Structures are given as structure tokens and as C-alpha cells.
Structure 1
């Protein structure tokens, strides 16, 4: 029977599952599989499982409930195993690494930092700071020469990327002292920074205060977003006893 896998905990974790249900409609009942002093929290895989809002929220609620009682290795939404034996085999095969990560994640949650600049404001700042950019902009307006426009566009692109890189490095450096571990992600879309921070629970207020101070320093032309506390997905870093099918 295929199983949906939510998380891994130490066997000493109470894994209180009363009153909590899993994904599916109607929601699947949760159960545990234990091996090598580890426990996996699972349920039956519901028919037609997809990343519907109710199921994603159910997955997150199971993790939130478990994290209240101790460290958890959270699996991403949609992780499944073919049967109980596959789960047991994975727990036994990776027992040392799972225990090491549980110890590393004890008393911590994840925060995700993302940031985006107002591009028009950034271009105005480049024209203010760069003599070459101003000269090209004036020449382009005066002559309408497409080659000048291309040169201006290339210069602006280089300047924007350089400023994004600098701002991202400074943002991560400002918050790094308040985190146990940091993982720099690939920034996508219009974001210039995407970084995950593993933060000890007793430093969460200090961390978020540092994030607010950073946002003030970057100014109103930068939209900084700090998401959390979250399950520490980014910092599991070890093979899961399941395949992601969501």
C-alpha cells in the first residue's frame, strides 16, 4: 500500500497524533513507522493527490503540530513511498545522518528572506551615480541613435546586476550572525536575494528585529520579505525515505 510521508522524528518524540489528520478528502488518518530509533509519520496516499490548497495546509498543519513537541525532519509536500518496508529500509540505511540532522535542527525553525527593488527607482539612481549612463541617456534622447540606446541598456543591465549582487551579499551578511545555518538560494523572477536561515527559537525575535532594521536601511525602494517561522525544509539535507510525486 502506497504511503504519504510527512516527516521523520526521533523515536523519543511523542508524535501525538490525536485530533490531527492528513491530506485527502476525507482526510487520511495518520500513523507511524519505527525503525533504527527513528519514526516516520505517514498516512495512506489519497486518490488523485495534487497540490490543492486544503492538502498543502493539511501537510503544514501536521508539521506544525509535530514541531511543537520536538525536532522534526520535514518532507516536502507530495513525498510518497511504495510501502512500509521502503520507509523502514530508508530509516535504517540513513539512521546516522537522520539523527545528526535532528540534533542540528533541535530548537530551530527556518526563515526565508527575499527582496526586490523598484526597477525604475534603481535606474534613476544609476543615472544619478554614473556619469557614463547620464551621457549615454542624454545622447540617446538627443540623437535617437539605436546603437546608443543599446549601449545604455547594456550598461544599465550590468549596473543593476552589480547592485543586486552587492545588496544580496550585504543582506545575508546582516542576518547571518543571528542564524545557526544559512543557505543561499537562487533568486528568481524580480528578486535580487533568496536565502534561508536556520534560527534558534530563543533568537527568533532578535532575528526578525534585525530583518526589520535591514529593511529600513535598504529604504522604501526595496521591498524586503521575511517569511517564517517555517519548517526547516532547506536544512534537512539528507535522502528522504520517499519519492516526491506531488
Structure 2
């Protein structure tokens, strides 16, 4: 029977699963499949599992409960195995690699940090104050100069300066934040974000990270939305 696979743990992990339920409209009980020093947490499924809120929540609850008791290798949502045998074979095939990753993640959680520009006005004012060229173009436009090239030139100048300043801020934030992490992963930002950073943070640094978060928000001031999320299962650092 097909299995939905949630995560991989060491055999000696407590795996306290009471009170949790699996994915699906009528979820089967959570159970484990063991192969040597490793276990996979699974549940039987007889339907196609889609990313509905109900099932995403169930998947995440299993990861968080397991993570509270020790290192876990969380699988991304939607992993289906053919049967128990295929799970055992997969665990046995890369047992050393799984054990090494579990040791690397022991005592750590993942945190995400994103930043976006929420109010352009303070930044634009600062650019005009710092750049004589931009200020001159702006004054000519406001003074009634109808040269159609002026707005385009000013727009390009400001856009270039905004990008440069956001990249510099992102680099500075990253440099500070990675000092609290064991590993980090910087991804290309999307949408309005100019920072998208994942941190693997050991337990002893979590409070320091929270203090740094508060200090950064205070120092950055208005116009920037700095968003932290975590502690989370270490999806980004399972290799």
C-alpha cells in the first residue's frame, strides 16, 4: 500500500506521535518504518494528496513535534513511497549520508529572514539629498522643464541607486545574521523583497538572534519591512 513519508529520524529518536494525525480526508495512524539505525515516519494513504491547508498543517505538525525531541530530516510535502519495502531500501541505500546529516542538524532550527521596501518616500528623499545629479534633475522637472528625457533619466538614476542601496543593506544584514548560524543559504529575492535568507541556527544562538532582530528593526527605521520566521524544521538544509 502506498505510504506518505513525513520525515527521517535516528532509530533512538523518541518519535512522540500521540495526538497527531496524518494527511488525507480520513488519515491513517502515523507509524514508523525502520531500517538499521534509521526510521521513517509514515502513514498509509489511498488517495492523491494535494497541498490543502488541512494536509499542509498536518505535515508541518509532525515535523515540529519530532523536531522538539531531536534532529529530524523533514521531507517536503507530498512525498509518496510505493510500500514499506521501498522505504526500507531507500533508508539502507544512503544510511551513512542520512546519519551524517542528522548529526549536522542536531540542536538546530531553521529561520527565514526577508526584507522589503514598504515606503519609498524616505529612501527617495535620502537619494535626492545625497545625489546632486538626481536633485538637479528633480528640481528642473518641478520647475517646469518639459524636456521628455528628464523624467526618464531621473527614473533610471533613482532605480539604480535604490537597487544599490538595497543590495548594500542586504549584504550588511546577511553579514550580521550569519554570525548566529551554523550554515546559511541566500536565495534570490522575489516580488518586492530584496533579501531572502535561510539560517541554520543552533539552540545556543536563538536568543542572540532574537536580540539582533529587535536591534536591526530599530536601526533600520521606517520604510523597511524586516520579517523573521522560525524556529522551523530545517527543510533548506537537508542534503
Normalised to the residue count of structure 1, the TM-score between the two structures is: 0.91
Name the residue aligned to 1:243.
none
1:129 maps to 130
RMSD: 1.5
CA distance in 2, matches of 1:138, 1:83: 71
Aligned to 2:204: 202
- The runs of 5 or more residues in structure 1 that have no matched partner are 238-246
1:230 and 2:218 are equivalent in the alignment: no
Contact 2:9/2:71 (8 A) holds in 1: yes
CA distance in 1, matches of 2:54, 2:230: 20
Corresponding pairs, count? 237
**Partner residue in 1 for 2:77:** 77
Task: Tell me the residue number matched to 1:12.
Answer: 12
SS at match of 1:228: strand
Residue deviations 1:2-58, cap 9 Å, x none? Answer: 221111101111222233211112223111111241111111235242211111111
In the alignment, what sits opposite 1:242?
Answer: none
Partner of residue 44, structure 1: 44
- The unaligned stretches of length 5 or more in structure 2 are none
Equivalent-residue separation in structure 1 for 2:97 and 2:120 (angstroms): 44
1:143 alignment partner, SS class: coil
Measured at CA, do residues 226 and 98 of structure 1 come closer, stay the same or move farther in structure 2, by a change above 3 Å? same
Instruction: Give, in whole Å, the separation in 1 of the partners of 2:29 and 2:87.
Output: 17
Q: What's the counterpart of residue 193 of structure 2?
A: 191
Counterpart of 2:196 in 1: which secondary structure? strand
Which residue of 152, 164, 167 corresponds with 1:165? Answer: 167
Partners in 2 of 1:39 and 1:46 — Cα distance? Answer: 22
- Of residues 50-59 and 15-24 in structure 1, the stretch that sits farther from structure 2 once superposed is 15-24
Aligned to 2:100: 100
Alignment match of 1:156 (pick from 138, 143, 158): 158
- Given the two structures, how large is their TM-score scaled by the length of structure 2? 0.93
| CA contact 1:5–1:43 (8 Å) conserved in 2 | yes
Give the Cα–Cα distance (whole angstroms) in 2 for the partners of residues 146 and 95 of structure 1: 66
**1:45 and 1:208 mapped to 2: Cα distance?**
40
Give the Cα separation in 2 of the matches to 1:30 and 1:146: 67
State which drifts further: 107-116 or 27-36.
Answer: 27-36
Which deviations, in whole Å up to 9, do the C-alpha atoms of 1:177-204 show, x marking residues without a partner?
1111111112111111110111112321
